[in-house]
């Protein structure tokens, strides 16, 4: 059984459709990234999957249950890192993690969770004394303390510096190796490419593309752009396979020091998808 199965999901607010009939499947043990511009319906979709928001239509199954009616036993099997979580400002990091750990039958050791979240040096600090990025790490710690089968991460590295973001990536990879299924939303394309097995792009409440980071939006078959300088003129050609062109340039004694070969990045594909569907 897949971890998440969605068919025809719809959500309407005051007559306006925020989610417009999407289909989505996430396999167990998969890291799946949901991408899209602000207002695309990502957070609404994730909140429905978490059981925090009622859907207007369609069917949703998460870990074998309907999140709209699932009980506490089901909720203990998921972990959630919200986009804006409330802080218990007067508790220390250790106190907060320990409190949440007490809600689970088999939590991770508190010290281990704090270390995984990169907060060991701040374990005795009150949450109100932490920076924004450090508070975000607390949110991550609370999301993983219960050893979830399925972890929802909504913009988890917002406020992280580059080093902290890379440390977080290592944590996600380690959780994936353990078999945790992860659904991630992010605006960082580099993050999606580094972590996701598959991803989907949501625009205007609809999925406009789905695939692996290497194949999304026809990326794998997109042509390579070859650029070089000849006789003082900048030249370029885009070809599915640039091999013949490169051999010709070698025979013509072209200035190969100016030669570059580029293919579309994930960001190029993403920007094209959201631009073409706005």
Of 196, 215, 234, the last residue of a domain is 215
223, 131: one domain: no
Q: Which two tokens stand for residue 34?
A: 């949901």
Between CA 34 and CA 48 the distance in angstroms is 14
Between CA 222 and CA 262 the distance in angstroms is 10
66, 141: one domain: yes
Of 198, 215, 232, the last residue of a domain is 215
Between CA 13 and CA 29 the distance in angstroms is 33
208, 228: one domain: no
State the CATH number of the domain containing residue 31: 3.40.50.300
Residue 277's pLDDT is: 56
Between CA 121 and CA 30 the distance in angstroms is 32
**Dihedral sign computed on CA atoms, order 24, 216, 184, 207:** negative
183, 226: one domain: no
114, 177: one domain: yes
Mean pLDDT of 122-150: 91
191, 235: one domain: no
Mean pLDDT of 185-196: 93
Of 215, 230, 245, the last residue of a domain is 215
Query: Tens of pLDDT along 167-177?
Result: 889 989 999 99
203, 269: one domain: no
Residue 159: is its pLDDT beyond 80?
no
Residue 98: is its pLDDT beyond 70?
yes
pLDDT tier at 95, thresholds 50, 70, 90: very high
23, 87: one domain: yes
Mean pLDDT of 133-150: 91
Task: Please tell me the pTM assigned to this model.
Answer: 0.84
252, 146: one domain: no
Residue 276's pLDDT is: 60
Between CA 4 and CA 28 the distance in angstroms is 8
135, 51: one domain: yes
Residue 30: is its pLDDT beyond 70?
yes
71, 9: one domain: yes
Residue 97's pLDDT is: 95
Looking at the structure of the chain, the number of domains it has is 2
What would the 3-class secondary structure string for the chain be?
Answer: CCCEEEEEEEEEECCEEEEEEEEEEECCCCEEEEECCCCCCHHHHHHHHHCCCCCCEEEEEECCECCCCCCHHHHCCEEEECCCCCCCCCCEHHHHHHHHHCCCCCCCCHHHHHHHCCCHHHCCCEHHHCCHHHHHHHHHHHHHCCCCCEEEEECCCCCCCHHHHHHHHHHHHHHHHCCCEEEEECCCHHHHHHHCCEEEEEECCEEEEEECCCCHHHHHHCCEEEEEEECCEEEEEEECCCHHHHHHHHHCCCEEEEEEEECCCHHHHHHHHHHHCC
Mean pLDDT of the chain: 90
Residue 86: is its pLDDT beyond 90?
no
265, 131: one domain: no
| 49 contacts: CB under 8 Å, gap ≥ 6 | 4, 6, 60, 62, 67, 152, 183
Query: Tens of pLDDT along 215-257?
Result: 998 887 788 889 998 888 888 888 888 889 989 888 887 788 8
Question: Which has more confidence, 67 or 1?
Answer: 67
Q: What is the span of the domain harbouring residue 236? A: 218-276
């Amino acid at each position: 059984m897949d971890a998440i199965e969605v068919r025809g999901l719809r959500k309407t607010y005051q007559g306006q459709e925020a989610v417009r009939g999407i289909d989505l499947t996430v396999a167990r043990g998969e890291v799946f990234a949901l991408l899209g511009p602000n207002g695309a319906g990502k957070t609404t979709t994730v909140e429905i999957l978490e059981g925090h928001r009622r859907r207007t239509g369609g069917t949703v199954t998460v870990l074998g249950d309907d999140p709209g009616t699932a009980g506490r036993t089901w909720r203990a099997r998921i972990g959630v890192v919200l986009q804006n979580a409330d802080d218990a400002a007067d508790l220390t990091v250790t106190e907060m993690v320990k409190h949440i750990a007490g809600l689970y039958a088999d939590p991770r050791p508190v010290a281990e969770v704090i270390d995984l979240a990169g907060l060991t040096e701040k374990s005795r600090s009150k949450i109100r004394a932490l920076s924004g990025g450090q508070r975000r790490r607390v949110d991550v710690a609370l999301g993983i303390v219960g050893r979830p089968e399925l972890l929802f991460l909504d913009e988890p590295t917002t406020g992280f510096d580059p080093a902290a973001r890379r440390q977080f990536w290592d944590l996600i990879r380690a959780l994936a190796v353990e078999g945790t299924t992860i659904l991630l939303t992010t605006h960082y394309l580099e993050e999606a490419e580094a972590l996701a097995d598959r991803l989907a792009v949501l625009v205007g409440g609809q999925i406009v593309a789905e695939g692996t980071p290497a194949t999304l939006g026809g990326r794998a078959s997109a042509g390579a752009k070859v650029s070089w300088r000849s006789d003082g003129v900048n030249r370029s050609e885009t070809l599915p396979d640039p091999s013949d062109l490169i051999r010709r340039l070698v025979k013509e004694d072209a200035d190969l020091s100016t030669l570059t070969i580029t293919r579309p990045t994930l960001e190029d594909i993403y920007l094209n998808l959201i631009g073409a569907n706005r």
